[in-house]
A and B are shown apart, each in its own frame.
Chain A
Amino acid sequence: GQQVMQIPQYQHVQEGEDFTTYCNSSTTLSNIQWYKQRPGGHPVFLIQLVKSGEVKKQKRLTFQFGEAKKNSSLHITATQTTDVGTYFCAGLDQGAQKLVFGQGTRLTINP
């Protein structure tokens, strides 16, 4: 079945540093979604990427979808303490309308 791998598993940065998490799928994805989960909270939908090579920005967050639609990345510029949490990518199995999640990258920040 479809597998989605995400690296790194953990990342600790100083406030103001940049952060990137990477997502790779074993199969071509119809689309990819990103979620953020604050400590003790539930995952919250951030964005969906659909097109090959697509790049979307949300303020300091930049999301990319690879040309082959098998990988994706999330880059945060100049991290702030509010960025703390776990970031998940998820690939959509469109036939069954179900998401397969990566293991997540837990971001911690030193103020």
Chain B
Amino acid sequence: DAGITQSPRHKVTETGTPVTLRCHQTENHRYMYWYRQDPGHGLRLIHYSYGVKDTDKGEVSDGYSVSRSKTEDFLLTLESATSSQTSVYFCAILTAANYGYTFGSGTRLTVV
């Protein structure tokens, strides 16, 4: 979909370790987003970016940081992973044509 890929698709990590998830897009979209999905909570916004080096916090940003040094890449970092960060993480881009989001396939992260 719209040239958006997430990596890795699955990851198991230990509590206290840093983890970086990558979102890559090929269509030069300005807006990119990181959401987490948990049962009963739907999709909650972690951080988003509106351009290179321009980022802002979402509703659940504690424990996460992001970076966007190039238009095509938006990185999400868990500085010190905790079990509460076990989740499915989705990256999304805003497609200007219809203002809808196109989502990546997701990263399933397990913190043990």
**Chain B, 44-91, CB within 8 A of any chain A CB:** 44-45, 48, 50, 56, 58-59, 90
- A61 interface residue per 8 A CB criterion: no
CB pair B94 A97 closer than 8 Å: yes
* A42 in complex: contacting residue of B42, B59, B100, B104, CB < 8 Å: B104
Mask, B87-112, CB within 8 Å of A = 1, is: 00010001000111111111000000
A98 to B45, CA, bound (A): 8
Number of interface residues of B (CB under 8 A): 26
- B41 interface residue per 8 A CB criterion: yes
- A43 interface residue per 8 A CB criterion: yes
Smallest CB-CB separation from B95: which chain A residue? A45
CB pair A88 B33 closer than 8 Å: no
CB pair B100 A45 closer than 8 Å: yes
Interface of chain A, main secondary structure: strand
A86 to B58, CA, bound (A): 23
CB pair B98 A48 closer than 8 Å: yes
- A85 interface residue per 8 A CB criterion: no
Band of interface residues on A:
20 to 34
- Cβ of B103: which chain A residues have Cβ within 8 Å of it? 42-44
Mask, A70-110, CB within 8 Å of B = 1, is: 00000000000000000010101000111111111000000
A88 to B103, CA, bound (A): 13
A-B contact pairs, 16 of them (CB 8 A): A31-B99, A33-B99, A33-B101, A42-B104, A42-B105, A43-B43, A43-B103, A44-B103, A48-B99, A92-B99, A96-B56, A98-B45, A99-B33, A99-B45, A100-B45, A104-B43
Binding site for A on B (CB under 8 A): 1, 31, 33, 35, 40-45, 48, 50, 56, 58-59, 90, 94, 98-106
A43-B101, A45-B102, A97-B31 are known contacts; what are 16 more A-B pairs with Cβ within 8 Å?
A1-B59, A6-B42, A9-B40, A41-B105, A42-B106, A43-B43, A45-B101, A48-B99, A90-B43, A97-B50, A97-B94, A98-B48, A98-B58, A99-B45, A100-B45, A102-B42
